[in-house]
Amino acid sequence: MNPTPFDQWTLKAIRYDKSMMNWLEERRYEWIALASDALQRIVAGQSVLILTDNERDWFAHYVVQSINSNARHRPFVPIYNLKELFPNVQNFTTNEEVELLYDLFSISFSSGYFVWYIGRPTSKYVKIAKGRDDNFLWIMDEDMQNNFTLKSYDELLDIKLLQLYRLFDKSLDAALFGEVLFA
């Protein structure tokens, strides 16, 4: 089977998945740039440290439990809930403390890592999320480079998070099994 370019694969995945909504097709170019980088890094062996604001703790738990379920029939993905892995993370507020935390991550995850942040820009965790330019960011209510912006006041926010995760999970399968080409 010949791999499909990731942008074409994504469009097809969105259009032919009954659970996806048209909002995702409209924003696919924003998605493709960010997701392709994260997926390539996972395939290369990097670890994912998921971090959310307190309102989306449920989402971090769901992703960590779902992504490596036995029903997936694929290699396990090194993804960890940062709040569970390192409970003191809530106390890191200064730039120096965040730098020390990133030093710890570099030692602990020698094959590489990135933080996947989902939440509001006012959360105490956003300083950690913005600590490196190459993190996978879903910061709400803030338009910035390398961020998939969602609106915290969107009444469909939870549904959109689940749809984005579904697309990410399907994309991860395609990346792990060589079904897609990244530009």
Closest CA to 128 of 164, 165, 82, 85: 82
Confidence (pTM): 0.95
* Residues facing 51 on adjacent strands: 117
Q: Could you tell me the CATH number of the domain that includes residue 115?
A: 3.40.50.11670
The answer as to whether 179 is a domain residue is no
The answer as to whether 164 is a domain residue is yes
Pull the structure tokens for residue 84.
Answer: 């569970």
C-alpha span between 129 and 125 (Å, rounded): 7
Residue 51, CA atoms < 13 Å, CB-side half-sphere: 30
C-alpha span between 171 and 36 (Å, rounded): 9
pLDDT digits (tens, 9 = 90+) for 137-175: 999 999 998 899 999 999 999 999 999 999 999 999 999
The answer as to whether 51 is a domain residue is yes
Distance of CA 43 to the CA centre of its chain: 14
Structural domain boundaries enclosing 63: 4-174
pLDDT digits (tens, 9 = 90+) for 25-37: 999 999 999 999 9
The answer as to whether 110 is a domain residue is yes
pLDDT digits (tens, 9 = 90+) for 125-141: 999 999 999 999 999 99
Element (H, E) at 59: helix 57-67
pLDDT digits (tens, 9 = 90+) for 57-67: 999 999 999 99
Type of residue numbered 4: T
The answer as to whether 95 is a domain residue is yes
The answer as to whether 71 is a domain residue is yes
Element (H, E) at 117: strand 113-119
What pLDDT was estimated at residue 12?
92
C-alpha span between 131 and 92 (Å, rounded): 12
The answer as to whether 183 is a domain residue is no
Structural domain total, the chain = 1
The answer as to whether 59 is a domain residue is yes
